[in-house]
Structures are given as structure tokens and as C-alpha cells.
Chains A and B, each alone.
Chain A
Amino acid sequence: MLTIRDLTVTYPSRGQAPITALQNVSLDILKGEIVVALGASGCGKSTLLNTIAGFLPATSGRLELNTHEIKGPGAVRGVVFQKDTLLPWKSVIDNVAIGLVFAGQSRAAARAQAHSLLSLVGLDDFANVAPYELSGGMRQRVGIARALATNPDLLLMDEPFGALDSFTREQMQELLISVWHKTHKTIFLITHSIEEALSLGTRVIVMSPRPGRIVRRYPLDFVKRFSAGESWASIRTDQAFL
């Protein structure tokens, strides 16, 4: 579905040699996968995600989503950021509905659809609250609902739970898996936590810095087992997981 071939991204830097953030990265993401990029900070994970999102131009290489070349940002790829980017002057429901309003839907229709997304992330009761009245975890849930509203082919998440406490993070991971189970979305997620990568990924790619590239790829089945009903406790004590 997503095809990346020999992607190189360099940042121009004033006076000095340009920084090569990614070099010759190739990656295929198939429909329904959760591909997790794992790596220390500075190894180009965000650069990769931002290029897929269309925020950054590729310096060289090919980038296609469903055989369409990625030229700029658009609603076919939903993005969830580490820092929430909700609009504080709009209520939670209007934040979730905004992508549909951008697409030309009436406010009422957009809101009706946004309501079902809010219940998907368990926030039915917070529709008319302002985003800044919510906790960090709840805001990220709104962020996920908002990104899903336009029914994107691919969901991009840049350390979405990185700013949350470990308890909330675990809840959010379970929420994400249940969302994935219900919507069958294709997800590309970034983390620097090995445990998070193992818990969420159907496939993990490990990246290394200077220049950023993919050094290892692991297919995994823990998420599928969890979705199939097995408890985290039993998966987490599994030898393979450890």
C-alpha cells in the first residue's frame, strides 16, 4: 500500500554541510499492518514520518501511497502528534469534526459523525468540553478520533504516548489496539520504547542514526494474539516477548 524506495532526506543548514537525516530508506507497509519505527532520538524517525505525511519534501527517492505519489499533506494520511495540536477555541466535538468540515460537510453532519468517533475512543461525555480542560491522555484520544474522522488510508503517529505517564500510556496502547481491531486501519507509529514497539507492532523496524536508516526488521504476532483475546499478562510473560 505505502511504498518507499531509496528515500533520502537532507536538511539544508546555513553555512555548514547539509544534514542527511535519512539515507536510502526503503519500506513497504501493507494494508492493516501496524509498523512501529523504533530508535534512539535523532535517528530520523520523525523525518521519515513527516516525509510520509507530506510535510517535508523527499530529497531523492520514491514515495507512493496506493500508487499515488505523495506530494504534500492531505487527508488521506491522518497524523497524531506527540504534543497535542487541538484547537483550543473549538470544543472537543468540533475539533474531531474539523477534517469533515474541511472536506465540505455541513457542521451538523460532521458533528454527527464526530460523535461516533468520540465513542470509539471512549469520550462520549466530553463532546462539548474545551480541549484544555482534558488530561493529556484524553487529548491524545481526541487527537486519534480527529485523525480518524476523514477515514484516512494510513494513520501516522509520532511518539503519540511519549508525553504520558506509564499508567495512562498502557491504557492508550490498549485503546489503540482496540481501535485498530475495529477499524482495520493501517498504522505507522514511532516510539523510542522497546516495550511499546513490541506491544503495538505487527512489524517493528529498528533505525540507527547518522545517516538515518533501517537496520533491522522484525515481524511480530503479539498484537494479533491480544486482539484475538489473549490477555496482556500472559503475553508479557511469554519468553519471546522478553
Chain B
Amino acid sequence: MPLYDVIGIKIDPYLNTSQTVSSASAFGLSDGQKTRLISAATIMLFGLAWWALSTYHWVATLFLPSPSDVWEQLLAIVTDGYANATLWDHVGASLVRILSAAAIAFSLAIPIGLSMGLSPWVKGLFDPPIEFYWPLPPLAYLPLMIIWLGIGEASKITLLTLAMFAPICLAAQAGVRGVSEERLHAARSLGANGWQLFWHVILSSALPEILTGTRIAIGVGWGTLVAAELIAATRGIGFMIMSASHFLATDVVFVGIGIIALLVFAFSYSWQKLEVFLVPWKGQE
């Protein structure tokens, strides 16, 4: 019986179509449209509440600057910069850190994760250190990074790399483990040797899982960025937020948060596009 993968659950296609038809036809909208409509309403409600709370001074400006204050502060930072650096210097510094950490994490975690999935030897070797460090919050080992690597770029990038490494490594492992046995059998019976099996079957089978891992890792990376930029940085969006908070410049904090949100959104959006491009078969099998 052909089964479709819907929200990760295997559902009988006939059962499924009859259900979606009945629930969505109530408003003449598809489920996706309905969700988007509700989301749009929520965003508008939040915006309105923000505007009302700040404009009528129900909440002090120190705690909640008005949307127009934040907008003017953004324009000011765009034209004049912040703390002796332009906005692009700050964004650029953060991006360079995130991207170089991502590059290092990808190039280490993918091969190590794949080998851990393939070989019990490699798994035995790397399991203890990874299992030990990855549940730790990066802020907990941040002091060690400073003591060992100083307060320059090295400690920041290492911190981000460590935070990104584990999710990718675990995803690559899971991807290899998840290769269907039938597919391996089929390739074997077509004469594949070990290397061909890896190259033609296992790697592509694991690719969706790896891409998901890298997406999660980049999310974790942004989350760790502010912590990393606490290390005596003079540039970076995280630095901008921290420094503004010392001067109680709440509007600058808002600008910084907004910029991070925008960057994270842009990243995860383009990553989803990349997934569709690289794994067009996802959900179609």
C-alpha cells in the first residue's frame, strides 16, 4: 500500500485526504492558508500592543521604547554607526565569526559523524568526549576558552565551533544509521563494493539528515553568538546589544535583536531553499 509521509507520521493516503478535505473545506481555505492567516493576525496584534503600550506610556520608555524610537535609532545607527564602528562592521564581524565557525564545524563534524555511523571503532573513540561536552551550555565552558585561547577571535570562533559541532555530528551519524537495509541489500546484490556503497547509497541517504543538522547548528550558533561576543569584543551585533544594555539604551538593544532575528530568518529561509534544491526527493518517496 502506498504510504505518504505527512508531518512525519505514516498515514493511509485515503484516510488522510478525506480528513484534510473535511477540516479545510469549512472555511474554503487550505490548512496552510489558514495557518498563515492566523499567524499574520498574531503579528499584527503584537505590533498593535507594542505601539499602544509605549505610545501611551503605559510602560516606561526605558523598558519599552516605541516602534518609532526604535526605527529612528536604527536609521541613526545605519548612518552614524555605533561605538566607533558602522553597522556593517558589527554585522560583518558577527557574520565572519558565525561563518568561519560553521565552515570549521561542517568540515570536521560531517566526516567524523559519517565515520561514527559507519565504524564502531570511530564511534567508540569519539562517543565519550562528545557525549560529555555537548549537553553543556556553551556559557559554562566559555571561561575555559578565555583562559586557554585568550580574548581574541580564536576563543570566540572555537566556542561557536564547539556549539555547532555536536548537532551536525549527531545528525550525520543518524543519517548513516537510517539508511534502509533493503536499499543496502539491493546495492550489494548489484555488485557494489564498500566504497561504492558509501558513495552511491549511504552519502545521499544521509544528506537530508545532515542538512537538518546543519540548520539546527546554525541556529545554535546564532544563539551562542551573543555569549561569544561577551569576550571583550569591540565589534559584533552581540557586542552592540551588551554594550547598549550597560547604558540602558533599550532602543539599541531592540535594533540589535531585530537585526539578529532578520539574519537568522534569512539563513533558515535560504537553508530551506538549499534543502529543496539538494534533496528534491524529500517527502516524495
The stretch from A1-9, A12-20, A73-81 touching chain B is: A73-81
User: Which residues from A are CB-within-8-Å of B1?
Assistant: 163
User: Which residues from B are CB-within-8-Å of A132?
Assistant: 281, 284-285
Q: Can you give 9 A-B contacts (C-beta < 8 A)?
A: A78-B189, A79-B186, A87-B183, A88-B285, A98-B200, A102-B192, A130-B281, A147-B190, A150-B190
A39 at interface by CB-CB < 8 Å: no
Q: A81-B186, A130-B281 are in contact. List 13 more A-B contacts (CB 8 A).
A: A50-B185, A75-B189, A79-B185, A79-B186, A79-B189, A81-B185, A85-B182, A85-B185, A85-B186, A102-B190, A102-B191, A103-B191, A150-B190
Q: Sort chain B's interface into a size bin.
A: 20 to 34
On whether the beta carbons of B189 and A74 are closer than 8 Å, the reply is yes
Please measure, in the bound complex, the distance between the C-alpha atom of A53 and the C-alpha atom of B284, giving whole angstroms.
29
Q: Say how far A51's CB is from chain B's closest CB, in angstroms.
A: 12
Residues of B within 8 A of A (CB): 1-2, 180, 182-183, 185-193, 196, 200-201, 204, 207, 279-281, 284-285
Contacts A130-B280, A136-B2 given: A102-B185 contact, CB under 8 Å?
A: no
Q: Say how far A192's CB is from chain B's closest CB, in angstroms.
A: 15
On whether the beta carbons of B182 and A88 are closer than 8 Å, the reply is no
| Nearest neighbor of B185 in chain A, beta-carbon distance | A55
Please measure, in the bound complex, the distance between the C-alpha atom of A240 and the C-alpha atom of B81, giving whole angstroms.
93
| Nearest neighbor of B280 in chain A, beta-carbon distance | A130
Q: How many residues of A contact B (CB 8 A)?
A: 31
User: Which residues from A are CB-within-8-Å of B285?
Assistant: 88, 132
A54 at interface by CB-CB < 8 Å: yes
Q: B191's contact among A50, A81, A99, by CB below 8 Å, is which? A: A99
A213 at interface by CB-CB < 8 Å: no
Please measure, in the bound complex, the distance between the C-alpha atom of A163 and the C-alpha atom of B3, giving whole angstroms.
11
User: Which residues from A are CB-within-8-Å of B182?
Assistant: 81, 83, 85
97-122 of chain A: CB within 8 A of chain B: 98-99, 101-103
Please measure, in the bound complex, the distance between the C-alpha atom of A122 and the C-alpha atom of B271, giving whole angstroms.
39
On whether the beta carbons of B204 and A73 are closer than 8 Å, the reply is no
On whether the beta carbons of A53 and B185 are closer than 8 Å, the reply is yes
Please measure, in the bound complex, the distance between the C-alpha atom of A90 and the C-alpha atom of B284, giving whole angstroms.
14
On whether the beta carbons of A102 and B196 are closer than 8 Å, the reply is yes
A146 at interface by CB-CB < 8 Å: yes
A89 at interface by CB-CB < 8 Å: yes
User: Which residues from B are CB-within-8-Å of A103?
Assistant: 191
Please measure, in the bound complex, the distance between the C-alpha atom of A85 and the C-alpha atom of B182, giving whole angstroms.
7
Please measure, in the bound complex, the distance between the C-alpha atom of A55 and the C-alpha atom of B201, giving whole angstroms.
17
Most B-side CB within 10 Å, residue of A54, A74, A102, A147: A102
